């Protein structure tokens, strides 16, 4: 290898440059296959299972999420049992999108395992799979969902497109959400939302007394402004990165807001117990100021759009040069 013939400091810089180029996509292509069957869309990368999109409702979610090396980085509960996981918040399923107050109805906590005594649970109903595409560089899926209240009235139609790529030793997931109001719609001000995932237990921050001893909680959470740990919650930032050691491998999960999104840079609903989410609507909760109003209203036929990127990468945010990855995303790369 070239590094064997270079001074140690230069070899390190060369290695870091190579890693960054790989993360930016200057690497061999991977075959990504996306296959629809019933209410599930399966994604494989280089012939190995990567994830599945479950569309049976009341929430559409992606589960599980894996690193390029095949390690699971999302929580398995409640879809499966895994030793050492905290079994709270059963509505935290994989990677999902929803909001806790849409005309007073809850599309965040709605779940078969949650009680709904007030009859406020909304349902994301699959209307149509608009398409799937496989390829040597990327695979994609596109679905049309109806956000229905408990009486079956459609409040919002959502078009969700997801693109999956393997870039070097990283997995990149781009999500493009178009929300169309089918009636007068108000996305209320609440912290319970919106684009989120629940990480594997290794990513939880150390010190949680409720956490089992195994696996070891080794999580580190930092945002684009340098804020770390629990203080990330409720702050505005361009990106947040969660990293941990999983089965002996240091891995990170970076989530990016898009500069074209409404209210960029967004607020973050990111918790020490592995909840990792973006929420542009929860202003009075995040600021602890009831005089603020983060709600958004749409008239019938009006639309709004949100785009996000997830990068599952080796190392922490410094090893992966997450800021450079975000800068490339912000430029449309």
Domain assignment of residue 275, given as a range? 30-330
pTM: 0.91
**Pair of tokens at residue 308:** 């996000």
What CATH number did the domain enclosing 319 receive?
2.70.98
Is 19 domain-assigned? no
**Residue 155 counted as domain residue:** yes
SS3 category, 212: coil
Residue 12 covered by a domain: no
240-263 pLDDT, tens per residue? Answer: 999 999 999 999 999 999 999 999
Query: In the sheet where 61-63 sits, what is the strand order?
Result: 32-37, 40-45, 48-54, 61-63, 95-99, 193-198, 275-278
Asked whether residue 4 is domain-assigned, the answer is: no
182-220: pLDDT as tens digits: 999 999 999 999 999 999 999 999 998 889 999 999 999
In a domain, residue 18? The reply is no
Is residue 21 in a domain? no
pLDDT, one tens digit per residue, over 67-119 is 999 999 999 999 999 999 999 999 999 999 999 999 999 999 999 999 998 99
Cis? peptide before 44, omega within 30° of 0: no
Number of domains in the chain: 1
Q: Is residue 182 part of a domain?
A: yes
Task: Tell whether 186 is covered by a domain.
Answer: yes
From CA 35, how far away is CA 43, in angstroms rounded?
7
CB 201 within 8 A of CB 116: no
Alpha helices per DSSP H over the chain: 8-23, 283-287, 322-330
């Amino acid at each position: 290898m070239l590094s064997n013939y270079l001074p140690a400091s230069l070899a390190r810089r060369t290695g870091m440059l190579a890693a960054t180029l790989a993360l930016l996509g200057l690497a061999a292509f991977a075959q990504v296959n996306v296959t629809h069957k019933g209410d599930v869309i399966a994604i494989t990368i280089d012939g190995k299972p990567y994830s599945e999109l479950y569309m049976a409702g009341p929430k559409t979610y992606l589960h599980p999420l894996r690193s390029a090396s095949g390690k699971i980085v999302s929580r398995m509960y409640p879809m499966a049992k895994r030793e050492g996981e905290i079994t709270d918040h059963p509505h935290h399923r994989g990677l999902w999108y929803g909001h806790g107050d849409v005309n007073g109805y809850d599309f965040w906590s709605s779940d078969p395992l949650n009680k709904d005594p007030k009859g406020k649970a909304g349902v994301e109903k699959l209307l149509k799979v608009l398409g799937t595409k496989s390829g040597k560089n990327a695979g994609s899926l596109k679905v049309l969902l109806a956000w229905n209240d408990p009486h079956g009235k459609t409040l919002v139609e959502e078009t969700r497109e997801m693109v999956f790529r393997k870039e070097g030793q990283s997995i990149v997931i781009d999500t493009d959400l178009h929300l169309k109001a089918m009636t007068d719609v108000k996305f209320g001000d609440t912290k319970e939302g919106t684009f989120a995932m629940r990480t594997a237990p290794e990513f939880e921050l150390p010190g949680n007394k409720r956490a089992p001893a195994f696996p070891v909680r080794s999580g580190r959470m930092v945002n684009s402004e340098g804020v770390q740990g629990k203080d990330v919650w409720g702050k505005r930032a361009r990106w947040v990165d969660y990293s941990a050691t999983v089965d002996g491998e240091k891995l990170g999960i970076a989530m990016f807001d898009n500069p074209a999104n409404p209210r960029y840079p967004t607020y973050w609903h990111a918790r020490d117990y592995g909840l990792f989410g973006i929420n542009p609507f929860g202003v009075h909760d995040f600021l602890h100021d009831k005089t603020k109003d983060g709600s958004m209203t749409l008239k019938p036929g009006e639309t709004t759009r949100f785009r996000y990127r997830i990068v599952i990468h080796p190392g922490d945010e410094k090893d992966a040069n997450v800021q450079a990855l975000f800068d490339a995303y912000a430029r449309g790369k």
